[in-house]
Structures are given as C-alpha cells and as structure tokens.
Structure 1
C-alpha cells in the first residue's frame, strides 16, 4: 500500500514565528560594513586572498555597482539579509582572483576542452534539479557539486586523505540553513555534495540571477536583461576548465568527461550559450508557469523569514510573475537558436509519465549510448529519491499571495501557444 506524503501547510508566511536563530540571521554578522561600495568589496576580496588581478573587465565592476545600488534600494531587507549578499559578493570576487591567479600560473588550463556539454534549461521548479541529479549518476559525465560551484579553487592545497575545507564550509552553511527552515527540504534540499546549477559559475562574472532570489532587485533585473550575457558564459567556460583541470584534465581522466549542466537561467540565454558552446546539446523542460509560481513563491516567501524584516507575499508574487514572464518571452524569442539535431523540448507531464523513456531520448539526442548497467544506476536514483519524500507542501497562490490564476493564464498565453505545456490545477 502506497503511503501518502505528509501535507505541510506554512501558516505564518506573512508573519513568521521567529526562532532565536532566525533573529540572529536577520541581524547578521558584526565583521562586515553595512553599506560597502563596489570598491570596498573588491578591496575586501583582495585582502582575503592576497591577490590583486581580477582579469579583464567584462563589465563585472559596473554590474557590482548596479547590484549594490539595487540592494540598498530594497528597504524591506534586514541587516543580515543585506549582508548575506555583500558576503556573497566578496566570496565570488575572491573566487575570481584565485581563478585568474591559477590560470596565469597554469595557462594550459585554457586548453582543457569543454566538448559537447549537455545543458538542461527550464523554469525554476520544473523538474530540472530532479533530471540533472539522476542523469549525473552516469560516471561518464562531469557534474557540478554545490561545494565546487561555491569555491572552484581551493584557498590552499589539501593534504592527501584530508577532507577539503570547501566541503566542510558548504556543509556547515547549508546545515544551519536547513535547521532554520525545516520545511525547505520538502521544496528544495541543499547539501554540499548535491549536484548544483552551473549558473553559480556566472557569479564570478557577477551575472548570475541568483541575487534575485534573495532580495527585490528591479534595477538589477532591468540592467541584466538589457545587456548581452555572452561574455559571462565565456567566463563560465573558463571556470569549467579550471574545475576540470583540478579533477585531471588529461585524456582518460575525469576532467575530460562531457559536462552535464543545468540552470533555469539558461532558458533566457539560449543564444549566448549557442555562441559559446556551439556543439552542446540543449534540453529544455517546460511546465505550467502558474504552477511554477505556486511553488516558487511559497519557497521564496518561506525563506524570506531569514532575510526580511517585513514580508509581503503579494508583492513577492507580483515581482516573480513579472520575472517569469520576461524569462519566458526571452525563451520564446531565442528558441530558434537551437535546431532539432541538438535540442529537445521536454514537457513536464511527459517527463513525469515516462522518466526512463525521456532519459533514452536525451541520450539519443546527445549521441550517448545507454548500457544496461548505466541505466540501472540512473533508475536507482528514482527509487532512492521518491517525490515528496520529505512531505508535500500546500501551495495557495490566490489566498496567500493574492494572485488571480485565470489572469495569469491569459498573461502566459504566448508561452502555452508556443510549447505543449499542460495546465495544472
């Protein structure tokens, strides 16, 4: 007899019950300046690493200025919420310094091939994480772990037999996050060794849209969408080469395997990816954007209790309805960048109905064989990680977030008309 998942209702979305840990998170650390300038953040990254060369300016300094301006305009953020983004900016700029230093000392890194990568794109909450995690069990592919994405270059050599401090740092951060938000595991669990989104690598060029999940940044969103992102994908390729080099980038070694990558951000950057990775395979998942908003707003609204003094669920939903529409319009406009020989549209309902069959289609498109032992490793993930294993969250887009679902469906008609997306009740 199949056991039904436990139903989780988050009843304090707008006025959360605050634990001591949440109060401390809202206050933030004492060792960071409250409103640093872009120059101050770069100075802190240089002081942290002892390095000074950020490499060619691909516009990242301007982007940092715009991000901070937009961040300081978000008056609903707590001090801790603001400083978490400041700390993130320092971290990724320190990463960039270490990347540039490593490549200067080992120029052969830029010769490490990134051949025929497999990209998975799709809306947040549309099955991309599930898809990349089980395909990553194919050990012929390179996948990106969360801890590597957060710190691609170690700050110091790791002695043989010792656990990489980057893993320990990542594990500590996400354990604390999960303890403060116990229902997050039912929506999107985060762990250091999990397979992660490669858009994190675009942080090193300050063009990652993850900032948007942590604050209300309309100025930044406008700037991001108004500028070409091709250079930032070229920088992502450089970081992939660095990671592959660390894994062993010689023929027959793990670094030479094909990359399996995924991010919702790719959905609005199809043309840029095509320019930088012309031999890639592009897989795009499609799910009803109204259902995506149900899930996404609940996840972000729930996590806002860590970083916001005042929580306004309807304002959050309006912001993300706008953002999802702009992402989908970019996808529709750029979809022609990829022809049928290298790309596949994956409707969510088809994927859920036959996950193994969809994997076979993806493998055929990518020109990969699928031996029985490899398929068995893949499908073992499905049995070991059933949906709703941590409970099923109740979503209420109309009641809690004040959105008119019928109006949203009219708004997204252009997307339903373009792709075979099944509307979900």
Structure 2
C-alpha cells in the first residue's frame, strides 16, 4: 500500500527522501519544471516557505512518511498556485468576482463547529467548499495530474486513515466533506494549519509576528476561483480564525460570524488527542505532554481573544451570532433557524427538509463516543477550570465536566 501511495503522489523527488530541507527556490523550481508554468501569483511566498521548511526539518522530527508527504504537499500547494495564476491570466475577471457577506464559523474547537458547518452547507443558496476542491481546485487542468478530483482524494484519505485509524472516530471526514478553510490559507504558507500536523514552534512564532492578512488575501482569491462566476454566499469554518480575527475583518469587512462555545474541559483533551492522531504518521516521536501544554496555552489565549473581540465590538452585533454546543446538539434545526433569522437569510422549505434528513442520518455529525483523560496529556482539570473561568462566565457556558 505504501508503494501505491508513493505512485499516487506523482513521482517523488529523490531529494524528498533525504533528511535535509529544500530551499524555497529549489521547491519553486521543482514545481515550475513539473507543471511547465512559471507565475505563482501576486503575493510573495518565498520567505514564508523558507520559514516553514526550516521549522519542519529542524523541529518536527519527521518520519520517512513525514518527509515524503511534506514534499508532496508542498509541491501540491505550489502547483495549485501556478494553476490559479494560469486561470487568472486567461481570464482576469476571476479576480473581480465578489465574495459577499461570507459566513464564518469559528470559536472553540470540538464545540460542534463541524456539525454546524455541515448543516449550513445543505442550503442550495450557499457554497461550502469540499475537501477535494481544496486539494484540486481545477482537476481538469493539465498540470493537476492524472485523474485529479474527488475519487483520487478519497483514495488518498483512505490511505491516511489506514495510517491513522483512530481519526475516523475523532474527526470523521471524506472527499465530499465541507473543508476547513485553513487549507486555503496554507497556499500562502502563512497558516496555522501547519502547526496542527507538525511541531513547529519557530514557524508558529514567525507567523504570529508576520501577521495573517496575506493569508486571508490568498483565502479570498481561492474562493473567487472555487465559487465560479455566479456570486453566492460562501459558508466557511475553522476554529483557528480566532487567532486572526483582525485579518479576517480586514479582508472580509462584511462577514457574518458565528462563534461556537463549549466547556473547555470537554474541548482541551479532545483537541490534544486529535493533534496527537494527526501528527503521529508524520513524526518519529510524539510528546503528549508538550501537545497538552500547547493546546492549553493556545486556547487560553484564544478564549481571551474571543472575549476581547466581543467586549469591544470587533463586528457589529447584527453580524455576530453565538451558538452553544448543548443548544446545537439538543435542537440543531431550531439553531439553524435562529441563525437565519438573525442574519436575515431565507430559510426555505427544501433547506429545512434537507436539514431534517441530514440530522436523522448523523444526529451529532457522525462522531464516535470518545473518552479522554487530562492526565494523558499532562493536564490538570482543576487548573484548566480556573484558567477558563472568565471565558465561561462571559459567554454563560454551561459546565459539562464536574471538577472535584
């Protein structure tokens, strides 16, 4: 199966099998040679790509699979940029397409955001990009490779699930699942997507200092391609938007924002476990305590940023809606109707019928029943309860975990 996967990732360069990092210039040259295209687009990427490559090869302790897949993933992102630019040069009107009043779901991870996103995606009036589209935005382009598209992506996902079998219960997805949009910012190489699958503290620090505006410009550009010439309402989701809210507002000033909330004591060990599962195939060694500390620190910071954004009115009240996990899972149809009423969107009969069918099939989004222990990741429930007390009070978040 491993040989089949290598074949499916096109021809892997011998350089990918070495333990040395490749420079951005070498990677750009490789992508150009592979595709026959030369223009990566208007945004500079070399500095960010060099920062990422350095961190991945010096800090992430890559396994053989990690080195091969990282090389393939980088070339895929570069190839997509070349294809997007090729399309733009053929039709400059693409970059004039409006992205009007997109809906963003963000907030605490593991708080029902994927379930909510999947429900919102059922509306024919909305466009929710799917996993395969983020990987192959133009599957028919000659540079995309043979048989690019949803079936090829599903085979790749099936292989990854073979390497990480616990992922199906922790975070179920397939080629047709609505995709988290950090996959779009990843094309700028300024994205928090990379620190989920790699231990790359120096790159994380660099991104925080460099800022996220360029990443969100790339995000918007990606949407202009995917949504096509007919302007439609984009529905997008990623908890990590919490760490880039100023950039999100700058690039999408008319965005509608949905914050999801849940008791952090249900969130933290679940996020830590997901991070462990995602990183394991890529790294030779996993430090679970380090993952626990990273997740706790990151989301304590994220919780404070959510409070600050709410307190100072980063967005007008009519552009913001708050969803609590318990309310969403207890009455998902009512929650969607409240969101639509708040944003002044039309809640049609066909949409309601599709929602009912989707909820009946997957009442909580298809997640398995998982039990996580704080001690597995070096965390203390008592300490975390106090750390997030302000967040729970500010948003009136109900406790789901009793602390002795």
Please give the TM-score of this superposition, normalised by the length of structure 1.
Answer: 0.85
Report the counterpart of residue 193 of structure 1 in structure 2.
176
Match of 1:328 among 275, 282, 303: 303
Measured in 2, the distance between the counterparts of 1:97 and 1:51 equals 6
Report the counterpart of residue 319 of structure 1 in structure 2.
294
Match of 1:125 among 110, 134, 140: 110
Q: Any idea what the Cα deviations from partners look like across 1:31-74, whole Å, max 9, x if unmatched?
A: 4433211211111221222111122234x222111111211222
Which runs of structure 1 show a deviation greater than 6 angstroms over 4 or more consecutive aligned residues?
A: none
Q: Is 1:40 equivalent to 2:26 in the alignment?
A: yes
Report the counterpart of residue 374 of structure 1 in structure 2.
351
Q: Is 1:108 equivalent to 2:84 in the alignment?
A: no
Report the counterpart of residue 67 of structure 1 in structure 2.
52
- State the shift of 1:388 in Å: 7.9
Matched position secondary structure for 1:333: helix
Measured in 1, the distance between the counterparts of 2:351 and 2:323 equals 22
Matched position secondary structure for 2:106: strand
Measured in 2, the distance between the counterparts of 1:403 and 1:30 equals 41
Spell out the pairing of 1:234-249 with structure 2 (5 A cutoff).
Answer: 234-245=217-228, 249=229
Alignment CA distance shift 1:420-1:313 (3 Å): same
Measured in 1, the distance between the counterparts of 2:139 and 2:26 equals 23
Q: For CA contacts below 8 A with separation 6 or more, give which structure has more relative contact order.
A: 1
Report the counterpart of residue 349 of structure 1 in structure 2.
326
Q: Is 1:287 equivalent to 2:262 in the alignment?
A: yes
Alignment CA distance shift 1:324-1:373 (3 Å): same
Alignment CA distance shift 1:107-1:30 (3 Å): closer
| Segment of structure 1 superposing worse, 143-152 or 178-187 | 178-187
Measured in 1, the distance between the counterparts of 2:295 and 2:67 equals 20
Measured in 1, the distance between the counterparts of 2:83 and 2:316 equals 37
Report the counterpart of residue 9 of structure 1 in structure 2.
none
Report the counterpart of residue 261 of structure 1 in structure 2.
236
- State the shift of 1:377 in Å: 0.9
Report the counterpart of residue 209 of structure 1 in structure 2.
192
Match of 1:397 among 374, 389, 393: 374
| Segment of structure 1 superposing worse, 255-264 or 177-186 | 177-186
| Segment of structure 1 superposing worse, 413-422 or 258-267 | 413-422
Matched position secondary structure for 1:83: helix
Spell out the pairing of 1:216-231 with structure 2 (5 A cutoff).
Answer: 216-231=199-214
Q: Is 1:306 equivalent to 2:306 in the alignment?
A: no
- State the shift of 1:243 in Å: 1.2
Measured in 1, the distance between the counterparts of 2:329 and 2:231 equals 32
Q: Any idea what the Cα deviations from partners look like across 1:320-377, whole Å, max 9, x if unmatched?
A: 2222223333333334211211111112222223212211111112221212332121
Report the counterpart of residue 418 of structure 1 in structure 2.
394
Alignment CA distance shift 1:329-1:42 (3 Å): farther
Number of corresponding residues: 389
Contact 2:261 2:397 in 1 (8 A): yes
Match of 1:361 among 309, 315, 338: 338
Query: Superposition RMSD on alpha carbons, in Å?
Result: 2.5
Q: Mark the runs of 5 or more structure 1 residues left unpaired by the alignment.
A: 1-19, 250-254
Please give the TM-score of this superposition, normalised by the length of structure 2.
Answer: 0.89
Q: Any idea what the Cα deviations from partners look like across 1:231-263, whole Å, max 9, x if unmatched?
A: 321221111111122xxx1xxxxx322111111
- State the shift of 1:21 in Å: 6.1
Report the counterpart of residue 176 of structure 1 in structure 2.
159
